[in-house]
């Protein structure tokens, strides 16, 4: 049985937390009339029952903090959503709520619905300041997420931000009405320039619906960050390829480098290009100044199986079967175990990892899996399913974002870092390009084709 919330009733009312107040005035001792027997002695009042502790817990609060910036909603059933700048919101499943022994603090237990990780919110009734404004808060808040860690801040009652509380006809017996539904994502910007492979595998660039041919056999396309140029790979003959650079304004392609090369990416400031070059049986990461292939040089001594682009202006992301590498242009490399990133999914050279444009801690991973999910579509050839998931490097938190009834591949971010574009290859003869928001909502089929990347 949960304790009762502080805010209640048909619309809402504040139930004040009340403690017993001792009676005022001098205490009298039984058996000693005034002036007799007890002269000069201190009298004491017999100990009475302990002051009752409130069983009510506060609801309809917004807790928030900074460094990093975060906010959390405590609704009618408890903690229901955690938001952090640079990450999609985390929907929480409210659990048990219990007061502590003092009666001035409460523990709200919940589950992260994306990972099933435990979440606990400690709310204490004491003055709090966020250190940034003159706002006075009535509560201190501490959120502990099993993967993310501890977030500290303040909280205040904000009933006006919970319109569902004012619904007169809220049916408590209807599970759909009790379910917390995240707000729809708004304010996103659809891309105005993209490149993709059409159903005939021709490399196209499109602005809006108007598309034009870049190369009939081009692939591995990637834009500069200003959207004015695009790199792509083209097969010339056995064991020889060419990386070309395409000028969007003129529609002209120019050879940049040839050999056994692949997968070229501009750095975030468009000053450098990273690419793969084969040496014997090994693929290695090389970099060069943009437009100066004669100054190309190897980055790192090891071999890799895939290049995934740039994490920042000094770090290139690559992988092999065992590790995800952070190759530094200005320092020694580092790595994490690839199994730590992929979990139940399977890593391979055909998989892709893309860094969120606004948050280098957030990765979009396209991967295969043999683990069956309800309704999962499987590739006829490999007998495996595929999906896209988000991975947080620091927290090691992994959340699948694509539905199981799709064969989701080749994920790429929009420039605002909120939309994800990918290929649904469930019908290999007619793949389609789809869009979904980073919280898994807003699924929409965009056009026929595959391998879409965003330029602007």
My answer on whether 398 and 296 are in the same domain is: yes
Task: Report the percent of the chain where pLDDT is more than 90.
Answer: 69
In a domain, 424, yes or no: yes
Residue 75 near residue 61, CB atoms below 8 Å: no
- CA atoms in the 13 A half-sphere facing the CB of 122: 13
In a domain, 275, yes or no: yes
In a domain, 89, yes or no: yes
Which of residues 116, 149, 178 is at a domain's end?
178
My answer on whether 432 and 375 are in the same domain is: yes
My answer on whether 211 and 153 are in the same domain is: no
Q: How confident is the model over 318-347, as pLDDT tens digits?
A: 999 999 999 999 999 999 999 999 998 988
Residue 274: CATH number of its domain: 2.120.10.30
My answer on whether 224 and 149 are in the same domain is: no
In a domain, 227, yes or no: yes
Mean pLDDT is lowest, of 148-157, 218-227, 281-290, 366-375, for: 366-375
In a domain, 250, yes or no: yes
My answer on whether 212 and 338 are in the same domain is: yes
As a whole number, the mean pLDDT across the chain is: 86
Q: How many domains does the chain have?
A: 2
In a domain, 64, yes or no: yes
My answer on whether 337 and 445 are in the same domain is: yes
pLDDT of 379: 86
My answer on whether 264 and 413 are in the same domain is: yes
My answer on whether 146 and 209 are in the same domain is: no
Which of residues 114, 144, 178 is at a domain's end?
178
Mean pLDDT is lowest, of 168-177, 274-283, 322-331, for: 168-177
In a domain, 27, yes or no: no
User: Does the pLDDT of residue 51 top 60, yes or no?
Assistant: no
pLDDT of 172: 53
pLDDT of 137: 93
My answer on whether 233 and 380 are in the same domain is: yes
My answer on whether 65 and 129 are in the same domain is: yes
Q: pTM of the full predicted structure?
A: 0.85
> What's the pLDDT band for 400 if we cut at 50, 70, 90?
very high
Q: Residue holding tokens 């159903």?
A: 199
Mean pLDDT is lowest, of 51-65, 96-110, 427-441, for: 51-65
My answer on whether 298 and 436 are in the same domain is: yes
In a domain, 20, yes or no: no
Which of residues 124, 151, 178 is at a domain's end?
178
Segments forming the whole domain that contains residue 108: 7-13+53-178
């Amino acid at each position: 049985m949960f304790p009762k919330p502080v805010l209640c009733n048909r619309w809402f009312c504040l139930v004040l937390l009340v403690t017993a107040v001792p009676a005022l005035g001098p205490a009298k001792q039984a058996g000693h009339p005034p002036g007799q027997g007890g002269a000069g002695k201190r009298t004491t009042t017999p100990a009475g029952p302990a002051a009752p502790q409130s069983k009510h817990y506060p609801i309809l609060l917004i807790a928030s903090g900074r460094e990093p910036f975060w906010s959390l909603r405590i609704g009618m059933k408890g903690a229901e959503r955690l938001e952090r700048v640079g990450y999609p919101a985390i929907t929480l499943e409210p659990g048990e709520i219990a007061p502590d022994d003092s009666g001035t603090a409460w523990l709200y237990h919940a589950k992260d619905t994306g990972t099933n990780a435990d979440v606990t919110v400690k709310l204490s009734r004491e003055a709090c300041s966020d250190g940034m404004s003159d706002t006075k808060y009535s509560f201190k808040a501490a959120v502990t997420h099993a993967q993310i860690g501890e977030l500290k801040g303040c909280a205040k009652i904000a009933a006006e931000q919970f319109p569902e509380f004012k619904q007169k006809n809220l049916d408590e017996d209807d599970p759909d009405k009790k379910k917390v539904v995240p707000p729809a994502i708004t304010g996103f910007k659809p891309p105005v320039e993209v490149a993709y492979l059409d159903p005939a595998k021709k490399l196209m660039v499109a602005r809006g619906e108007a598309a034009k041919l870049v190369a009939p056999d081009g692939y591995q396309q990637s834009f500069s960050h200003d959207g004015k140029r695009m790199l792509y790979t083209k097969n010339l003959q056995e064991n020889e390829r060419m990386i070309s650079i395409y000028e969007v304004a003129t529609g002209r392609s120019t050879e940049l480098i040839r050999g056994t090369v692949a997968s070229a990416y501009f750095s975030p400031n468009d000053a450098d290009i990273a690419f793969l070059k084969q040496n014997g049986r090994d693929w290695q990461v090389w970099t060069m100044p943009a437009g100066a292939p004669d100054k190309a040089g190897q980055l790192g001594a090891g071999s890799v199986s895939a290049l995934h682009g740039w994490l920042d202006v000094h770090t290139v992301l690559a992988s092999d079967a065992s590790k995800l590498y952070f190759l530094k242009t200005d320092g020694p490399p580092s790595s994490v175990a690839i199994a730590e990133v992929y979990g139940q999914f399977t890593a391979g050279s055909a998989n892709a990892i893309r860094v969120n444009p606004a948050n280098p801690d957030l990765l979009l991973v396209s991967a295969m899996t043999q683990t069956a999910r309800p309704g999962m579509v499987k590739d006829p050839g490999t007998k495996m399913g595929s999906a896209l998931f988000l991975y947080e490097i620091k927290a090691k938190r992994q959340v699948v974002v694509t539905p199981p009834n799709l064969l989701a591949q080749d994920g790429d971010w929009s420039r605002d870092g909120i939309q994800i574009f990918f290929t649904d290859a469930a019908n290999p003869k007619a793949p389609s390009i789809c869009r979904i928001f980073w919280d898994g909502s807003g699924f929409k089929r965009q056009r026929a084709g595959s391998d879409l990347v965003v330029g602007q």
